Amino acid sequence: MNKSTHHKLTLRRDRHQQGSLTTEDRASGQVWIARWRERIAGRSVQRKVTLGPTKQLSKTAAQRDLNKLLQKANDSTPSGNLHTTVRELVEHFLEHEFGEGCGRTVKAVRLVRDTLNRHVLPKWGTHRLTEVKAPHVESWLKSLDKANPTKAKIRDTFSQAYRHGIRYEICLHNPIASVRQSRKRSTEPSILEPSEIGAILKELEGIEPARTTFFLAAVTGLRVSEILGLQWQDVDFERAILHVRRSCVDGVIGECKTESSRRPLPLPEQAVEALKAWGEQSSYVKPDSWVFASDAMFGRQPLYAGSLWLKNIAPAIVRAEIKKPKLRWHTLRRSYASLLLTTGADLRTSMELMRHATSAMTLETYGQSTTGAKREASDRAAKLILVA
């Protein structure tokens, strides 16, 4: 069976089942056997149920019991919904929506797969689709030792699998749509003050390419996956422009996160000089060479973000005596967005520099004033009141 034929079969609605009623010999005597077929996640499955001994159950009574079973298989709910497990649904969902050639970024595919495999399947994998109820899922999410945004992502991914099931007629109802889960953060994410970034850079002096990578992330707001996906041909030194064309997640090259992420980015003069200085030290400077190539892999792939942070950046933060929780590469992107707004950049400019699709993402998700800016604003307000 070729792939196209299989795809058509998975989309076909089950035909009305007539079933069959037969007898089988057992040690205790003959019994009535009911048989019918059901389609589960695109596969035809044979069902068989023993109804009872022929001595105690007439054929009419046996037929009546069979009809009750067939009514469940032939009602408006797709038959697969009666027996299909969450694991079967998830496997179908991942194969059709996040399989090879799905057109999604490596990071997006990995995030969905990890969420389902690490959280959803261990708890719900063996449950039938009809056994999953919104209140039970809410209680389960509440018990997880995760931040609210993470719990919301788990809920959303679980719901996405059910929506896929509705589309493929594996089920008709999505219980996760009724699950309540707040996205509100319990604490504000950390950002770095300009002086703190400067202190870390000082501690990274002479440690390359960690210093240049950190500096580029701090002054451009680029995601670390985009920085590691850069090739020298992406850097226009004459016009001071950076072309963001790909991303690298754990050594796997993929597309950028969104269409807006591929917009060219102006490079500050200091970033241009830093890249030139690094290029003079690097052993890999061909146009298609990675800007931050891995020596261990002889330049064939970029460095790993996690290793770069743990081995170089994290120790520099300790040496700089900066004690803020959960500092990581993305902290620099948040810090950059906050600095743009703090320094007076208008919202449209900030949005384009961050390469966000909407201004709401820039303002609500990333916009966070630094402590110094808050103090200055507070002082200015107080002076106005005193003058009045």
Distances (CA, A) of 39 to 42, 44, 195: 6, 4, 63
Per the structure block, which two tokens stand in for 153?
Answer: 């992502």
Instruction: Say whether 194-329 and 86-178 share the same fold.
Output: no
pLDDT at 229: 94
pLDDT digits (tens, 9 = 90+) for 119-148: 999 999 999 998 999 999 999 999 999 989
Inter-residue contact 348 to 340 (CB < 8 Å) = no
Spacing of C-alpha 229 from chain mean position: 19
pLDDT at 71: 72
pLDDT at 348: 75
Measured between its terminal Cα atoms, the distance across the chain in Å is 83
The burial of 334, by beta-carbon neighbours within 10 Å (0-12 exposed, 13-18 middle, 19 or more buried), is given as buried
pLDDT digits (tens, 9 = 90+) for 210-267: 999 999 999 998 999 999 999 999 999 999 999 999 888 888 887 776 665 677 888 9
The more confidently predicted of residues 87 and 384 is: 87
pLDDT at 368: 57
Distance of alpha carbon 97 from alpha carbon 93, whole angstroms: 6
The DSSP secondary-structure symbol of 232 reads: G
Q: Is 320's pLDDT higher than 90?
A: yes
Distances (CA, A) of 347 to 106, 205, 263, 344, 360: 30, 34, 17, 9, 9
Q: Is 8's pLDDT higher than 50?
A: no
Q: Is 155's pLDDT higher than 60?
A: yes
Neighbouring CB atoms inside 10 A of 89's CB total: 27
Ramachandran class of 306: left when φ > 0, alpha when ψ lies in -120 to 50, beta otherwise = alpha
pLDDT at 237: 95
The model's confidence at residue 329, banded by pLDDT at 50, 70 and 90, is very high
Domains of the chain, by residue range, sit at: 3-15+22-74, 86-178, 194-329
pLDDT digits (tens, 9 = 90+) for 99-117: 877 878 777 888 999 999 9
Q: Is 278's pLDDT higher than 70?
A: yes
pLDDT digits (tens, 9 = 90+) for 165-187: 988 888 888 999 999 999 887 67
Q: Is 40's pLDDT higher than 90?
A: no
Q: What are phi and psi of 43, to 5 degrees?
A: -115, 140
pLDDT at 12: 38
Distance of alpha carbon 367 from alpha carbon 13, whole angstroms: 49
Share of the chain above pLDDT 70, in %: 80
The candidate with the shortest Cα–Cα distance to 228, out of 329, 353, 114, is 329
The CATH T-level fold of domain 194-329 is hpI Integrase; Chain A (1.10.443)
Inter-residue contact 222 to 276 (CB < 8 Å) = no
The model's confidence at residue 9, banded by pLDDT at 50, 70 and 90, is very low
Spacing of C-alpha 298 from chain mean position: 31
Q: Is 323's pLDDT higher than 70?
A: yes
Distances (CA, A) of 127 to 84, 143, 171: 8, 19, 14
Q: Is the pTM of this model over 0.75?
A: no
pLDDT at 314: 97
Report the chain's mean pLDDT, rounded to a whole number.
83
CATH of domain 86-178: 1.10.150.130
Answer positive or negative: Cα dihedral of 332, 333, 338, 344. positive
Is beta strand 43-53 parallel, antiparallel or unpaired with respect to 29-40? antiparallel
pLDDT at 90: 95
pLDDT digits (tens, 9 = 90+) for 332-385: 998 888 888 777 777 777 777 877 666 555 655 555 555 555 555 555 554 554
The three-class DSSP label of residue 328 is coil
Inter-residue contact 228 to 246 (CB < 8 Å) = no
Inter-residue contact 46 to 35 (CB < 8 Å) = yes
The more confidently predicted of residues 370 and 28 is: 28
